[in-house]
Amino acid sequence: AQSVTQLDSQVPVFEEAPVELRCNYSSSVSVYLFWYVQYPNQGLQLLLKYLSGSTLVKGINGFEAEFNKSQTSFHLRKPSVHISDTAEYFCAVILRKDSSYKLIFGSGTRLLVRP
Amino acid sequence: EAGVVQSPRYKIIEKKQPVAFWCNPISGHNTLYWYRQNLGQGPELLIRYENEEAVDDSQLPKDRFSAERLKGVDSTLKIQPAELGDSAVYLCASSLGSGEDLGETQYFGPGTRLLVL
């Protein structure tokens, strides 16, 4: 079973509109959840992460995400996007097995902001 | 503070040729990761080092891939011989701790884009 699923491969949105990028995780993984952003020809940059505590997590560049245990979701939101937010967004979870762990990424969602 | 440095940024080789990628992590970071990112997909872990020890290499295709981190600082990932299916972006990342803190942030380099012809 997929540890993390991003159902939307691409999300087009107009500038200044709100956006939500969806992420669902398998209930069998630990609840360490991350959102990374990848700009063209660059490495990944952490937007935000949920480890414990408040279910609403605020990150950089005006993004926020809400951890929903009952729906096993960790959707990313921004109330008003800019052209510069055009990038690939990856949801990720920590998968633990015995004494080992690894960061498992979803397949990514391309956010395309149009003027 | 300098980020994770990788070289080269791009590499084009013919199949069956060897290739090597180099990574210098953020200064003081004990844990180093190599990922492979295929087109249209998220990164997948190949190997994780804690200092100079490879603590997880279960996803590394050991028949053709090798990696080293001799002094616990910079690292080299090698493919010999390369196959067409190895075309991908190879990302290096580092994190500060020893790996016990599962929530620790990983910092990624810009990657090496490999094309095997």
**Contact across the interface for B102 and A101, Cβ inside 8 Å:** yes
**Residue B98 binned pLDDT confidence (cut-offs 50, 70, 90):** low
**Residue B102 binned pLDDT confidence (cut-offs 50, 70, 90):** confident
Which of residues 60 through 89 in chain B touch A, CB cutoff 8 A? none
| pLDDT greater than 70 at residue B100 | no
Percent of chain B with pLDDT over 70: 97
Q: Tell me whether residue A102 is exposed, middle or buried, using C-beta atoms within 10 angstroms of its C-beta: 0 to 12, 13 to 18, 19 or more.
A: buried
Please check whether residue B32 is in contact with residue B42, taking contact to mean a CB–CB distance below 8 angstroms. no
* Range list of H helices, chain B: none
Assess B42–A contact: CB distance below 8 Å, yes or no: yes
**Contact across the interface for B42 and A90, Cβ inside 8 Å:** yes
Please tell me the distance in Å from B15's CA to the nearest CA on chain A: 24
Stretch B11-34: mean pLDDT: 95
| pLDDT greater than 90 at residue B21 | yes
Structure tokens at B111: 């990657």
Query: Over chain B, what is the mean pLDDT?
Result: 92
Structure tokens at A51: 């480890």
Q: Which residues of chain A have pLDDT under 70?
A: 1-2, 29, 99
What is the tens place of the pLDDT at every residue in A67-100? Answer: 999 999 999 999 999 999 999 999 999 887 776 7
Element (H, E) at B113: strand B112-116
Residue of B nearest to A30 (CA): B102
**Contact across the interface for B40 and A101, Cβ inside 8 Å:** no
Question: Which residues on A lie below 8 Å from B48 (Cβ)?
Answer: 102
Interatomic CA distance for residues B89 and B77, integer angstroms: 12
What is the tens place of the pLDDT at every residue in B67-92? Answer: 999 888 999 999 999 999 999 999 99
Higher pLDDT among residues A59 and B104, named by residue: A59
What pLDDT was estimated at residue A114?
A: 96
A108: nearest CB among B33, B42, B102: B42
What pLDDT was estimated at residue B99?
A: 59
**Contact across the interface for B109 and A43, Cβ inside 8 Å:** yes
What pLDDT was estimated at residue A94?
A: 87
Please tell me the distance in Å from B77's CA to the nearest CA on chain A: 17
Stretch B3-7: mean pLDDT: 95
Higher pLDDT among residues A91 and B102, named by residue: A91
Residue of B nearest to A40 (CA): B110
Tally A–B CB contacts below 8 A: 53
What pLDDT was estimated at residue B1?
A: 65
Closest CA to A69 of A13, A27, A115, A106: A27
| pLDDT greater than 60 at residue B47 | yes
Please check whether residue A77 is in contact with residue A85, taking contact to mean a CB–CB distance below 8 angstroms. no
Residue of A nearest to B38 (CA): A107
Question: Which residues on B lie below 8 Å from A42 (Cβ)?
Answer: 110
Strands A64-68, A73-78: pairing kind = antiparallel
